[in-house]
Amino acid sequence: MEPDGSEPAGAAWEPVRWTGHEVRTEVVLLHGHRVSCRIGGSAGPVLLLLHGLLGSGASFGPALDELARTHRVVAPDLLGHGASEKPTGDYSLGALATLARDLLVVLGVESATVVGHSLGGGVAMQLAYQFPASVERLVLVDSGGLGRNVSPALRAVALPGAEWVLPAVFNPYAARAAARLLRPLHRVTPPALAQVVAGLATLADAEARAAFVLTARSVIGVGGQRVSATDRLYLTAALPLLLVWGGRDPVIPVAHGETLHAQLPGSTLVVFDRAGHFPQVEDPGRFAGVVGEFVRTTTAAPPAARDAAWAAALRAGSAQLPLGAADSTTS
């Protein structure tokens, strides 16, 4: 693990150094790919913050700095995003969840409270499903993977030929022109809009564009979200769960969070009535306070107990059909 921008030194492995509440950027080499990661804090529970589509660790904005004062925070740029590498490969939720688990292992973190925004919420749920011992608590922020509805702009990425249209709209020339146009408005641009603009600006890079299309199509189709966690969420019934949503989210409606909250009575739902898709940057102080209070007032079971609870729930929610029943159900 080396400071951002330097080459790997080939030194012996060592866990992350928690040096203070200031958030710094380091680079971790995972499976030969460089993963940029924001790390901060010196004490307290570990928070793994997973950003959304077209985002990065910076997508948590000032809330990341605030959380680092009382927690140890890890906010990676997922592969294909931000300053991390953008290889041609698997950008499914399962692959990104495995990347998140591997990152924790390399950093020497046994488990963490996982905070996932939008696409990152889907990754967080997949992480809890694949590696239950790694997830102490789950915080879903305007999360994907809980219903079909999603904005038409994202559904358009699933259309045939979208990968050929994007370069005509998002290219270095257009990016420079947009930057000149928006520069005078920088100080008055709402934080949520600034997040969208920053994300779209990354599409001027061909590798980022290709990774965006691969990632979006892994979870979104023309008809809406293709991937749903709702049939397996019963496995998280024993896991402390916080839902944070913007009441005016135009990308993923707050109804998704309300439905999940009704299905899991032990969960907590907090709606930021005036916020859109980015409550963590639209009201960072409140967001950090809500997450911090959730961590303080809930208890995480030991890793072995989480594994056992997951396995028990899976067995209780499944059944072995009598011999021959499988054939009759498919005839």
Residue 283 known to be catalytic: no
Catalytic residue among 65, 84, 277, 283: 277
**What is the Cα–Cα distance from 271 to 288, expressed in whole angstroms?**
14
**What is the total residue count of the chain?**
331
Instruction: Please say whether the dihedral angle defined by the alpha carbons of residues 61, 216, 83 and 101, taken in this order, is positive or negative.
Output: positive
What does the radius of gyration of the chain's CA atoms come to, in whole angstroms?
Answer: 20
Residue 277 known to be catalytic: yes
Catalytic residue among 36, 111, 118, 218: 118
Catalytic residue among 65, 77, 249, 283: 249
Contact 146, 229 (CB under 8 A): yes
C-alpha distances out from residue 330 to 83, 231, 287, 326, 327, Å: 48, 20, 48, 7, 5
Q: Which helix (H) or strand (E) holds 29?
A: strand 20-30
**What is the Cα–Cα distance from 218 to 277, expressed in whole angstroms?**
21
Phi first, then psi: give them for residue 274, nearest 5 degrees.
Answer: -95, 0
Q: Is 258 helix (H, G, I), strand (E, B) or coil?
A: helix
C-alpha distances out from residue 197 to 55, 139, 179, 203, Å: 10, 25, 10, 10
C-alpha distances out from residue 119 to 116, 142, 189, 313, Å: 7, 9, 24, 25
Helix, strand, coil % in the chain, rounded to nearest 5: 45, 20, 35
Residue 59 known to be catalytic: no
- Token pair, residue 80, equals 């294909």
Q: Which helix (H) or strand (E) holds 73?
A: strand 72-76
**Catalytic center residues:** 118, 249, 277
